[in-house]
């Protein structure tokens, strides 16, 4: 009789003291009904400021399948997710967010698809119970990212997914620091399947990330997986030069052949053109600056996170 396959479930946390134990109980309940596998739960605390660490310690003492990884400070949401992958020892890895908005009963469906030969099984959110501002932001983000990125990321595909050992090893081997899990998961390829589900509203606690932080997260994904902003600058520059030549030519024709007495509008035209091109140049520099920022972060070579303690 062969060994049972090990499946790692990574649970990144930040200020989730109210969800650590309920998440463990929900995950334990669903995996006990999946025969033929053994499971491990990897909690990564991303520098929480509440009692999240104490809650993780209590779960570790209760169940030998649970491991706790405590980072030395908050390194951002992608870093804690990366840590769960790095410490996973399983034949497959499931990413589960500690806010418990993703239903755990989808996990058996992930595993079934994996058994059918799919290397990556991604959860697609058909409905998200959230406030109208965040819902509109998320929908806009996924559609814009799909349109401008150089990889195919399904609309409304969250982090909740199962990744087999081959794609997981490929993702872990990538040297880049400017990471976006959903983008990397799509970039490595492999045979994939999709499971649709409705994402629930948060039942306990409060999200630690506001709209500005989500916007920063979106910015990282755009500049990490798309060159469209740079292409946009090139095409916009060509268009503006073309329009400037046409407008200037038309003005000269009007001045010399129709009415050369009205010179009062010239300063206004010059100021308007100056402001317009100045704004375009500032936008172009901003785009270039963001890519330079990515280059600087990569060349520093700093680790994505530092582990303070493992239990």
Position 97 scores a pLDDT of: 87
3-class DSSP assignment, residue 252:
helix
Whose CA is closest to 38, among 53, 28, 24? 28
Position 70 scores a pLDDT of: 93
3-class DSSP assignment, residue 242:
helix
Whether the pTM exceeds 0.75: the reply is no
Whose CA is closest to 191, among 244, 137, 116, 280? 116
Position 288 scores a pLDDT of: 73
Position 57 scores a pLDDT of: 92
Crossing angle, helix 20-31 and helix 52-62, to 10 degrees? Answer: 30
**Residue 7 corresponds to which tokens in the numbers above?**
């499946």
Q: Which residues pair with 44 in a beta bridge?
A: 12, 69
Q: Per-domain residue ranges for the chain?
A: 5-226+303-310, 228-300
Query: CATH topology for 5-226+303-310?
Result: Spore Coat Polysaccharide Biosynthesis Protein SpsA; Chain A (3.90.550)
What are the residue ranges in the chain where pLDDT is below 50? 1
What are phi and psi for residue 154, nearest 5 degrees?
-60, 145
Whose CA is closest to 151, among 224, 201, 96, 85? 224
Q: Which helix (H) or strand (E) holds 40?
A: strand 37-45
Position 184 scores a pLDDT of: 83
What stretches of 46-187 adopt beta strand conformation (E)? 66-71, 92-95, 120-128, 157-164
Position 8 scores a pLDDT of: 93
Position 44 scores a pLDDT of: 92
What burial letters (b/e) apply to 177-206, b meaning 16+ CB within 10 Å?
A: bbbbbbbbbbbbeeebbebebebeeeeebe
**Residue 273 corresponds to which tokens in the numbers above?**
């053109």
Position 230 scores a pLDDT of: 67
Whose CA is closest to 169, among 151, 153, 184, 152? 184
């Amino acid at each position: 009789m062969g060994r049972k396959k090990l499946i790692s479930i990574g649970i990144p946390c930040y200020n989730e003291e109210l969800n650590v134990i309920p998440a463990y109980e929900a995950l334990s309940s669903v995996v006990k009904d999946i025969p033929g596998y053994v499971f491990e739960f990897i909690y990564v605390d991303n520098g929480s400021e509440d009692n999240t660490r104490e809650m993780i310690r209590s779960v570790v003492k209760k169940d030998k399948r649970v491991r706790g990884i405590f980072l030395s400070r908050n390194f951002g949401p992608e870093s804690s997710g990366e840590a769960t992958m790095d410490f996973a020892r399983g034949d497959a890895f499931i990413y589960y967010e500690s806010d418990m908005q993703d239903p755990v009963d989808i996990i058996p469906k992930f595993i079934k698809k994996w058994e059918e030969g799919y290397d990556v099984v991604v959860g697609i959110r058909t409905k998200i119970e959230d406030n109208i501002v965040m819902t509109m932001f998320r929908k806009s983000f996924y559609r814009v990212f799909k349109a401008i990125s150089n990889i195919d990321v399904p609309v409304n595909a969250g982090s909740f997914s199962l990744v087999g050992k081959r794609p997981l090893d490929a993702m872990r081997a990538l040297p880049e620091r400017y990471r976006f899990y959903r983008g990397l998961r799509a970039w490595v390829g492999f045979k994939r399947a999709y499971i649709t589900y409705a994402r629930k509203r948060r039942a306990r606690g409060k999200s630690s990330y506001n709209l500005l932080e989500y916007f920063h997260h979106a910015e990282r994904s755009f500049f990490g997986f798309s060159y469209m902003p740079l292409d946009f600058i090139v095409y916009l520059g060509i268009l503006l030069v073309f329009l400037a030549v046409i407008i200037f030519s038309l003005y000269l024709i009007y001045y010399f052949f129709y009415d050369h007495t009205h010179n009062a509008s010239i300063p206004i035209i010059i100021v308007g053109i100056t402001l317009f091109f100045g704004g375009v140049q500032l936008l172009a520099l901003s785009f270039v600056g963001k890519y330079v920022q990515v280059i600087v972060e990569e060349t520093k070579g700093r680790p994505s996170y530092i582990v303070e303690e493992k239990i």
